[in-house]
A and B are shown apart, each in its own frame.
Chain A
């Protein structure tokens, strides 16, 4: 199939991009890496009249530490950069750990973190990792910029709290602390496929005890999902077998995956428990 005809503009600033959107009567779409949008257009699942190419906006670039020590990731950060960048490895290691599981190298070279999170595919790795990292998402709109906690960002399947025309500018991720431990893995039929279930874990363990646990799952429901009961079950433990079993058991209250034509909900919950147990076991046995 061939995409329907469309117009194209390449603004030089965020303000120009927002103006272009405002002038398009709701028929415009921003394009950055295009790794989801272009196939959707080729399949005529989406047929915007105007593409606003934000891939060249300097304001959306950059990986740097804020004055408060947190990490600012420009929305245009590529998946491949998430894998390679030393600042990301230091402060947002879950992004680096998840990156190799995101599709294939050619896609990772083009796809952007902002695009992935704005699309809010619940089976994608980066949206769930933003939850696990406690990221805050900076968006720009006609009324100015605002910040949204990742917790509040994902609303439903492919739906976020961003308003039409708003532009994802950057992610703000709290600085890593000594004793933070992170791990990611997923179960996918083939390397690079969407996972049957995936999970990122970030534990604050400054002194051998879990002070805080953040556990986020992908592909278990309409939005990336924090496993708060499992987190609570882990908190205060020394990450021993009993604590891990308790966290696994608690997942039943956290996740309610639905049946689909491939994977029954009960199996997905089972896989989530197996995966969480393995991830926590890996952290427990790590030096």
Chain B
């Protein structure tokens, strides 16, 4: 809490207070309303027959027997849905040269990954729909599959999608021009080849959608477990040719999203058409096996990187080659190139060096599509950079904390930019490092490590600095031609009883968006928080906005709420001035009561003011305009992104005989600007750390050499569980952005951004006495034991 006091630091301010979620009790009581809970009259259920082939031509489909099965109302193929729905292509204009094949809800003549939905059955129950799947006959002709990154790029490679000129989706290069000279002159060069496994979101609530086409009015209502209802309103409208105003998307309670629930999925698009064909509501809920073969995957990068340092330990340059294997096409509408793009742009971001070169290759293959998932690109850029920094420190005989102290951008150097073009308004790397060292008793841990090593106990300490992209402007998607909004909208009203309603476009998936919006509105209006009701997630009742992605809920949605509440407050005080025959400037609204600003003496309750405005306007002067509802939009201005920063520490113990690693403790110092609710920020950080530790030690979508997923169930895909997770200590530094009144930046991805990097450094630190190292995530016992040469 080191930010200067300002307009938000009023006594009893709700901003900066740890308040619990108003919706937590309802969800704990089992009164949540998820898409799965919804049952509409005449509702049908969809199930999909999926391809067992990795890559194949569809020769013929025989659905006759399935149509005759009990309860079956419709069997639909790709051709049936293509007649209703226009195809989509996952490219963005600002990714020059990017290409991808057009997609349909269900394939017309080719399947490009194992698990792809091919035929839909709609029946009175899900069980009956699944029964009918068994009666469908599809003749496939097996085609060569692309399942290896290097093989995919060879000129004579088979194609992941028939007819493609090659398997290259996108290539990008960055070069400051002086990298070769820097490396030639460097005292030391460290280099490594890194591999980052594929993983996936594994939300508690799987994907779920219930489409309700009303042919009588030409209206489509979609109950959809999504982060971005407005984006889907637009997509359903345009691809199915329904006027936007006739499409309503409702995102009710959502059980986690992490970036996974904002992409177009073939089954979801199909369900819209299935409802139109049946003229009845149709529900589809992905089961866990379907989730593994259809939810987006993420990561899957191979990075070759080197770093040049001088004799004093100053980093001079980085040179990076990132190759990432996506699916057989690029995901729509946000593409599958953003992660790689962020990997090469975030490399080295916390450090002062100016010379940088990178090449990115985004490659098609016959696997599940990849796209944005929590901390897009950050963990990869962070792990590569931070591991190279540790390798340089080892080469130089420097302590890892010391080499960072010498190279992190000084806290007084802002504004400045990165060699990749990112602009930093104000960060706190050096203070974060100092805070982390104190928080974890870094020197004490090092001393303990030395003592224990002598006794054959191998502990490792890893630290990792990071920046995080938040509050994205239209520079993210808008300039690429995607109809994905960077602004948000809010409607704030005083009800006749003097309560407050806020309908806002940012959405809630469990992270507490509604809580912080309520805090901000209550704070800025001057009413008790309990009297503010926040509504989200319905395109019919909330204004259009970006919703929830890329860490923008607090920074952009929060600022929207703040500005809207300030306008409403001004209207309230203006009306109070009229009623009280006082100057509005002499009045204030505190705790739901209009008071005299100077003395604090009560003048009129908000409820009384609302009663007069709504029911006794006859008592007001003729020219009074009682505007107790305000609609307000806010789009980020100034910096294209509000970068945040921080640093993490990880303490592990390696069992060198078994390759097992116990994570002893984890620390985070983060700076997300103005903290609205410390409790929720801590939860975001901890949850993010756990997802990063999952990537570091457990989570991986494993494929065999033919392109078949071999661990697509929760028995075989290991998500991090509470028993294996350490205590996570969180410290905060606050450097608010000056671009907004609120000063908040994002915090949802910070935990994930650097925890795997800190873990990677910790494990390598523990392996040092053995002369062994590891550069592949997840760090499984098998990989660690192999690195140790134990079998």
Q: Does B724 contact A (CB under 8 A)?
A: yes
> For the complex, what is the distance from the CA of A266 to the CA of B786, rounded to whole Å?
11
Dominant secondary structure at the A interface:
loop
**The 7 nearest A-B residue pairs measured at CB:** A2-B127, A191-B723, A270-B791, A267-B791, A266-B791, A274-B657, A190-B721
**Inter-subunit contact B130/A267 (CB<8 Å):** no
**Inter-subunit contact B127/A3 (CB<8 Å):** yes
Instruction: Of the listed stretches B337-345, B453-461, B490-498, B777-785, name the one at the interface; the rest are far from the partner chain.
Output: B777-785
Query: In the complex, which of the residues A3, A44, A261, A270 contacts B790, with contact meaning CB atoms closer than 8 Å?
Result: A270
> For the complex, what is the distance from the CA of A264 to the CA of B781, rounded to whole Å?
11
Residues of B within 8 A of A266 (CB): 791
Q: Does A196 contact B (CB under 8 A)?
A: yes
A270-B785 in contact given A191-B721, A261-B704 (Cβ < 8 Å): yes
A2-B791 in contact given A190-B723, A263-B782 (Cβ < 8 Å): no
Residues of A within 8 A of B698 (CB): 189-190
Residues of A within 8 A of B702 (CB): 261-262
> For the complex, what is the distance from the CA of A267 to the CA of B658, rounded to whole Å?
9
Residues of A within 8 A of B718 (CB): 189-190, 193
**Inter-subunit contact A187/B658 (CB<8 Å):** yes
> For the complex, what is the distance from the CA of A43 to the CA of B716, rounded to whole Å?
15
Q: From residue B462, how far is it (CB to closest CB) to chain A in Å?
A: 21
Chain A stretch 8-27: residues in CB contact (< 8 A) with chain B: none
Residues of A within 8 A of B782 (CB): 262-264, 267
In the assembled complex, 29 residue pairs joining A and B whose CB atoms fall closer than 8 Å, in A order, are: A1-B289, A2-B130, A3-B127, A4-B130, A4-B131, A5-B127, A43-B289, A44-B130, A187-B660, A189-B698, A189-B780, A189-B781, A190-B698, A190-B721, A190-B723, A191-B721, A191-B724, A192-B721, A192-B723, A196-B781, A261-B702, A262-B702, A262-B780, A267-B782, A267-B786, A267-B790, A269-B791, A271-B658, A274-B658
Of listed A187, A191, A267, residue having the most chain B CB within 10 A: A267
> For the complex, what is the distance from the CA of A271 to the CA of B724, rounded to whole Å?
20
Q: From residue A70, how far is it (CB to closest CB) to chain B in Å?
A: 36
Q: Does B710 contact A (CB under 8 A)?
A: yes
Binary interface profile of A, 94-123, with partner B (CB < 8 Å = 1, else 0)?
000000000000000000000000000000
> For the complex, what is the distance from the CA of A191 to the CA of B720, rounded to whole Å?
10
> For the complex, what is the distance from the CA of A262 to the CA of B658, rounded to whole Å?
14
Binary interface profile of B, 551-570, with partner A (CB < 8 Å = 1, else 0)?
00000000000000000000
Q: From residue A165, how far is it (CB to closest CB) to chain B in Å?
A: 27
Chain A stretch 191-228: residues in CB contact (< 8 A) with chain B: 191-194, 196
Residues of B within 8 A of A5 (CB): 127, 131
> For the complex, what is the distance from the CA of A193 to the CA of B724, rounded to whole Å?
12
Of listed A2, A193, A263, A266, residue having the most chain B CB within 10 A: A2
Q: From residue A104, how far is it (CB to closest CB) to chain B in Å?
A: 10
Q: From residue B566, how far is it (CB to closest CB) to chain A in Å?
A: 49
> For the complex, what is the distance from the CA of A43 to the CA of B658, rounded to whole Å?
34
Query: Of all chain B residues, which has the CB nearest A271?
Result: B658
Query: Of all chain A residues, which has the CB nearest B45?
Result: A2
**Inter-subunit contact B289/A2 (CB<8 Å):** no
> For the complex, what is the distance from the CA of A144 to the CA of B579, rounded to whole Å?
95
Query: Of all chain B residues, which has the CB nearest A267?
Result: B791
**Inter-subunit contact A1/B658 (CB<8 Å):** no
Residues of A within 8 A of B785 (CB): 267, 270
Binary interface profile of B, 697-708, with partner A (CB < 8 Å = 1, else 0)?
010001010000
Residues of A within 8 A of B127 (CB): 2-5
Q: From residue A243, how far is it (CB to closest CB) to chain B in Å?
A: 19
Q: From residue B660, how far is it (CB to closest CB) to chain A in Å?
A: 7
Chain B stretch 405-459: residues in CB contact (< 8 A) with chain A: none
Residues of A within 8 A of B125 (CB): 2
Further pairs besides A2-B125, A193-B718, A264-B782: 16, Cβ < 8 Å: A1-B289, A3-B127, A4-B127, A44-B130, A187-B660, A189-B698, A190-B718, A190-B721, A261-B704, A261-B710, A262-B702, A262-B780, A263-B782, A266-B791, A267-B785, A270-B790
Q: Does B674 contact A (CB under 8 A)?
A: no
Chain B stretch 120-139: residues in CB contact (< 8 A) with chain A: 125-127, 130-131
> For the complex, what is the distance from the CA of A200 to the CA of B194, rounded to whole Å?
39
Chain B residues at the A interface, C-beta cutoff of 8 Å: 125-127, 130-131, 287, 289, 657-658, 660, 698, 702, 704, 710, 715, 718, 721, 723-724, 780-782, 785-786, 790-791
Query: Of all chain A residues, which has the CB nearest B710?
Result: A261
Residues of B within 8 A of A1 (CB): 130, 287, 289
> For the complex, what is the distance from the CA of A261 to the CA of B710, rounded to whole Å?
8
Q: From residue A36, how far is it (CB to closest CB) to chain B in Å?
A: 11
Q: From residue A228, how far is it (CB to closest CB) to chain B in Å?
A: 23
> For the complex, what is the distance from the CA of A192 to the CA of B718, rounded to whole Å?
11
Residues of A within 8 A of B721 (CB): 190-192
Chain A stretch 231-287: residues in CB contact (< 8 A) with chain B: 261-264, 266-267, 269-271, 274
> For the complex, what is the distance from the CA of A274 to the CA of B785, rounded to whole Å?
12
Q: From residue B788, how far is it (CB to closest CB) to chain A in Å?
A: 11
Residues of B within 8 A of A274 (CB): 657-658
> For the complex, what is the distance from the CA of A34 to the CA of B781, rounded to whole Å?
32
Of listed A192, A194, A271, residue having the most chain B CB within 10 A: A271
> For the complex, what is the distance from the CA of A191 to the CA of B702, rounded to whole Å?
21
Residues of B within 8 A of A191 (CB): 721, 723-724
Residues of B within 8 A of A269 (CB): 791
Residues of A within 8 A of B287 (CB): 1
> For the complex, what is the distance from the CA of A13 to the CA of B357, rounded to whole Å?
77
Residues of B within 8 A of A192 (CB): 721, 723
Q: From residue A265, how far is it (CB to closest CB) to chain B in Å?
A: 9
Of listed B287, B710, B780, B781, residue having the most chain A CB within 10 A: B781
Q: From residue B48, how far is it (CB to closest CB) to chain A in Å?
A: 11
Query: Of all chain B residues, which has the CB nearest A3?
Result: B127
> For the complex, what is the distance from the CA of A84 to the CA of B786, rounded to whole Å?
40
> For the complex, what is the distance from the CA of A270 to the CA of B126, rounded to whole Å?
47
> For the complex, what is the distance from the CA of A261 to the CA of B290, rounded to whole Å?
22
Query: Of all chain A residues, which has the CB nearest B125?
Result: A2
Residues of B within 8 A of A2 (CB): 125-127, 130
> For the complex, what is the distance from the CA of A114 to the CA of B710, rounded to whole Å?
30
Residues of A within 8 A of B289 (CB): 1, 43
> For the complex, what is the distance from the CA of A274 to the CA of B710, rounded to whole Å?
28
Query: In the complex, which of the residues B131, B704, B724, B791 contacts A190, with contact meaning CB atoms closer than 8 Å?
Result: B724
Q: From residue B285, how far is it (CB to closest CB) to chain A in Å?
A: 11
Q: From residue B749, how far is it (CB to closest CB) to chain A in Å?
A: 25
> For the complex, what is the distance from the CA of A1 to the CA of B125, rounded to whole Å?
11
Query: Of all chain B residues, which has the CB nearest A278?
Result: B657
> For the complex, what is the distance from the CA of A44 to the CA of B134, rounded to whole Å?
11
**Inter-subunit contact A264/B658 (CB<8 Å):** no
> For the complex, what is the distance from the CA of A264 to the CA of B15, rounded to whole Å?
55
Query: In the complex, which of the residues A194, A262, A264 contacts B791, with contact meaning CB atoms closer than 8 Å?
Result: A264
Residues of B within 8 A of A190 (CB): 698, 718, 721, 723-724
Query: Of all chain B residues, which has the CB nearest A273?
Result: B657
Query: Of all chain B residues, which has the CB nearest A265?
Result: B791
> For the complex, what is the distance from the CA of A189 to the CA of B131, rounded to whole Å?
36
> For the complex, what is the distance from the CA of A187 to the CA of B662, rounded to whole Å?
12
> For the complex, what is the distance from the CA of A87 to the CA of B786, rounded to whole Å?
44
Query: Of all chain B residues, which has the CB nearest A268?
Result: B791
> For the complex, what is the distance from the CA of A191 to the CA of B782, rounded to whole Å?
18
> For the complex, what is the distance from the CA of A1 to the CA of B285, rounded to whole Å?
10
Q: From residue B490, how far is it (CB to closest CB) to chain A in Å?
A: 42
Residues of B within 8 A of A267 (CB): 782, 785-786, 790-791
Residues of B within 8 A of A43 (CB): 289
> For the complex, what is the distance from the CA of A136 to the CA of B126, rounded to whole Å?
44
Chain A stretch 32-84: residues in CB contact (< 8 A) with chain B: 43-44
Residues of A within 8 A of B704 (CB): 261
> For the complex, what is the distance from the CA of A192 to the CA of B782, rounded to whole Å?
19
Residues of B within 8 A of A196 (CB): 781
> For the complex, what is the distance from the CA of A2 to the CA of B780, rounded to whole Å?
34
Query: Of all chain B residues, which has the CB nearest A277?
Result: B657
Of listed A191, A261, A269, residue having the most chain B CB within 10 A: A261
> For the complex, what is the distance from the CA of A267 to the CA of B783, rounded to whole Å?
10
Q: From residue B323, how far is it (CB to closest CB) to chain A in Å?
A: 23
